[in-house]
């Protein structure tokens, strides 16, 4: 059974390094303009330290974010994982259910928006072919077989892996063999969605 092992970016809550130049005019004459705290939703809610700077030449202010944090209310790793899960074939509703099990509320519209951002980034990098997709009402939908589903095994501790695996829904024994290897690890909690699959698998 194919699977993808991901190690996502950790969140660095330390104050970011001083920027080299103004993002608006490129001037290197910058003045520290205070510090603010921003509430971020991850598997555990926390406040991130964000620095503000003012450009001497154009008089504009801007924020400097730590690694893994930006203007959004969710951390970058949560949004990227949600978008990737959607790209691998899970519906926006299913992605929201998975992350709700982790204590991270994600609406279907949030997942859809993050998936669009992922597609746009790949297009800008010339890698759009990595996601086979078609368009319905301006929404990108993954072009995957109806016979395949996606299994997510999530452990969001520091540096621990996320596992995403595609599975053949009509071959419960292959799914069972794959999951049995994970059940042996007491640090991994597995949640299966879908009563039909649950009725055919016994671990």
Strand, helix or coil for residue 168: strand
For residues 144 and 190, what is the distance between their CA atoms, to the nearest angstrom?
23
Residue 26, pLDDT score: 93
Residue 102 domain-assigned (yes or no): yes
Q: Is the pLDDT of residue 6 over 60?
A: no
Residue 77, pLDDT score: 79
Least confident of 72-81, 106-115, 168-177: 168-177
Residue 69 domain-assigned (yes or no): no
Mean pLDDT, the chain, rounded, equals 67
Instruction: Report which of residues 42 and 197 the model is more confident about.
Output: 42
Domain that holds residue 196: 3-10+77-202
For residues 174 and 147, what is the distance between their CA atoms, to the nearest angstrom?
14
CA atoms within 13 A on the CB side of 119: 20
Residue 103 domain-assigned (yes or no): yes
The total of structural domains in the chain comes to 1
Q: How far is CA 33 from CA 38, 49, 60, 64, in A?
A: 16, 13, 11, 11
Residue 180 domain-assigned (yes or no): yes
Q: Is the pLDDT of residue 114 over 60?
A: yes
Residue 136 domain-assigned (yes or no): yes
Residue 84 domain-assigned (yes or no): yes
Residue 41 domain-assigned (yes or no): no
Q: How far is CA 59 from CA 17, 20, 23, 38, in A?
A: 20, 16, 12, 23
Residue 45 domain-assigned (yes or no): no
């Amino acid at each position: 059974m194919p699977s993808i092992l991901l190690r996502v970016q950790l969140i660095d809550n330390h104050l970011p390094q001083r920027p080299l130049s103004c993002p608006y005019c490129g001037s290197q004459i910058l003045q520290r303009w205070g510090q603010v705290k921003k509430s971020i939703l991850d598997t555990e809610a926390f406040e991130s330290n964000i620095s503000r700077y003012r450009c001497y030449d154009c008089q504009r202010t801007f924020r400097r974010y730590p690694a893994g944090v930006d203007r959004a209310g969710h951390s970058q790793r949560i949004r990227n994982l949600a978008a990737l899960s959607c790209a691998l074939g899970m519906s926006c509703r299913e992605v929201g259910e998975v992350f709700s099990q982790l204590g991270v509320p994600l609406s279907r519209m949030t997942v859809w928006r993050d998936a669009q951002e992922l597609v746009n980034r790949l297009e800008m990098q010339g890698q759009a072919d990595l996601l086979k997709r078609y368009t319905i009402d301006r929404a990108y939908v993954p072009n995957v077989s109806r016979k395949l589903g996606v299994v997510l095994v999530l452990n969001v501790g520091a540096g621990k892996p996320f596992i995403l695996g595609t599975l053949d829904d009509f071959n419960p024994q292959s799914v069972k063999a794959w999951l049995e290897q994970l059940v042996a690890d007491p640090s991994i909690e597995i949640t299966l969605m879908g009563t039909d699959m649950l009725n055919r698998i016994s671990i």
